[in-house]
Amino acid sequence: MNSFFGRLVLKKRNSETMNSTPKKKSQFTWSIEDESRMNYIISEFINSGKFEINFKDIWSQFSDSQEIEYRRFVQKMCKKLVQSHHPKVKLVISRHWTKYEEKLLKDVLVEEIKMGKETCEIKWDDVLSKFKEKGGERDKKALQERYRNYIHPKVFVPGDRKRYIFSKEQTRAIIDYKANNSKIGWKEISEKLNEVIDMQNMLNKMTDKKNRLNEVIDNKANVKRIMPHCTPNQVRNKYNTLINRIKEPSDLLAFELMNF
């Protein structure tokens, strides 16, 4: 009986201790201006027809801060805002990649390449195992996505990918996107370019079909003119190459004189 009451007293004391422990206050503040700006960014995605939005695309427009704690704070506020004001929106949150994690993945991939493996021969279960042995905490899908989009573009079309050649129109679009919005992400730019590529591929397919119906014998016309997608990594490399050759993104005269 005494032991029973003893446990009750101990439980009560523990409860009081927990309740009396002050909660850690956030070092960041969320202003009305911050909320208005976040609302505007989300509304822009919705107006463009996107209801499944990745937070990293929102973040690229909201801030250029490299501080992880601040990013997490903004992510938390963004999640609350979406839940209360944009119920139709699905917010996709993927954990931010640190430079250390990316280096781990690169080290594993370098080991694979040194063994003489082509990109299409990489076994991702082995990569995942080695990544975890080195202290990484990601799943296989996350490793593949990071590799595909940011580290090595060849995996997009395994074993059959050369340097991506951007057209003048695509190159101009890349510069325009960055000139109009310096915080736009490489992934968002590549998605915009790929939308145009998909439309052009569809148009080419319809034209080729029409040529066959009219019995036009032309080897060039019957070739499958399918343009490949570009990756965020390729867009970033192209933009950085251009910036190294011109002083300002808005320097259209220099842009016109370039030999692409």
Q: Does 128 share its domain with 152?
A: yes
Last residue of a domain, one of 42, 67, 92: 92
- Do residues 226 and 201 touch, judged by C-beta distance below 8 A? yes
pLDDT at 136 over 50: yes
- What is the structure's pLDDT at 64? 83
Q: Does 37 share its domain with 76?
A: yes
d(CA 158, CA 156) in angstroms, rounded, equals: 6
Q: Is residue 214 part of a domain?
A: yes
pLDDT at 121 over 80: no
Three-state DSSP string of 228-260: CCCCHHHHHHHHHHHHHHCCCCCCHHHHHHCCC
Q: Does 190 share its domain with 129?
A: no
User: How many domains does the chain divide into?
Assistant: 3
- What is the structure's pLDDT at 101? 85
List beta partners, residue 54.
92
Top pLDDT among 29 and 150 is at: 29
Length in residues, the chain: 260
Judged on CB neighbours under 10 Å (0-12, 13-18, 19+), 35 is middle
Q: Does 57 share its domain with 87?
A: yes
Q: How far is CA 105 from the centre of its chain?
A: 17
Domain that holds residue 128: 99-156
Q: Is residue 8 part of a domain?
A: no
pLDDT at 246 over 60: yes
- Do residues 146 and 102 touch, judged by C-beta distance below 8 A? yes
Q: Is residue 25 part of a domain?
A: no
pLDDT at 255 over 60: no
Q: Is residue 54 part of a domain?
A: yes
Share of the chain above pLDDT 90, in %: 15
- Mean pLDDT comparison of 8-12, 106-110, 211-215, 220-224, highest-scoring range: 106-110
Top pLDDT among 26 and 101 is at: 101
The 10 Å CB-count burial string (b at 16+, else e) for 59-92 is bbbbeeeeeeeebebbbebbeebbeeebeebebe
d(CA 106, CA 16) in angstroms, rounded, equals: 50
Q: Does 58 share its domain with 105?
A: no
Q: What confidence tens digit (pLDDT) does each residue in 27-69 have?
A: 889 999 999 999 999 998 888 888 888 888 898 899 888 787 8
Strands 90-92 and 52-54, by their bridges, are parallel
Judged on CB neighbours under 10 Å (0-12, 13-18, 19+), 233 is buried
pLDDT at 204 over 50: yes
Q: Is residue 9 part of a domain?
A: no
pLDDT at 239 over 80: yes
Q: Does 137 share its domain with 81?
A: no
The widest CA-to-CA distance across the chain, in whole angstroms, is 100
- Mean pLDDT comparison of 56-65, 103-112, 115-124, highest-scoring range: 56-65
Top pLDDT among 195 and 214 is at: 195
- Do residues 232 and 189 touch, judged by C-beta distance below 8 A? yes
Mean pLDDT of the chain: 74
